[in-house]
Amino acid sequence: MKIGKSGLVLWGIYAAFAVFAISSNIDETTFHFGGQLGGVKAVVWLALLAFLAYSIYCSFRENFFRSVRSIATLRWGRQIGADLYLGLFVALFIIFLNDGGLVALIWLVPILIYANLVFLLYLALNFDSIVIRLLGV
């Protein structure tokens, strides 16, 4: 149960980005779960925290890079990887529509490295503005 140096560095970078994202996006509605879709927003935050906790747990159990190498040798592993990154570009498109090109560029590299851990963070932080843009609620 030992996490390698590369794992610690990756988690440190994620933590630094998360602190930056939270501190630059926080407002009075960030942690407000009332209203018509407050329960859905709470589920997004819980999904982020649960996925983050499970990802950290996995990093203590297995080497990420070794696991990716073994998965990449399988056809379904490559298909799942392609599917993941296609979905991440859809997520980046949502960021672009919500905040514009510059913000999408800021989130690009973290999303390509940390995938849905970063998009869930974006979705949780920007839930209200995304809902307003999509649903007009």
pLDDT single digits (tens) 78-130: 999 999 999 999 999 999 999 999 999 999 999 999 999 999 999 999 999 99
Pick from 82, 58, 45: nearest CA to 7: 58
Task: Place 23 in a pLDDT band, splitting at 50, 70 and 90.
Answer: very high
Angstrom distance (rounded) from CA 72 to CA 81: 8
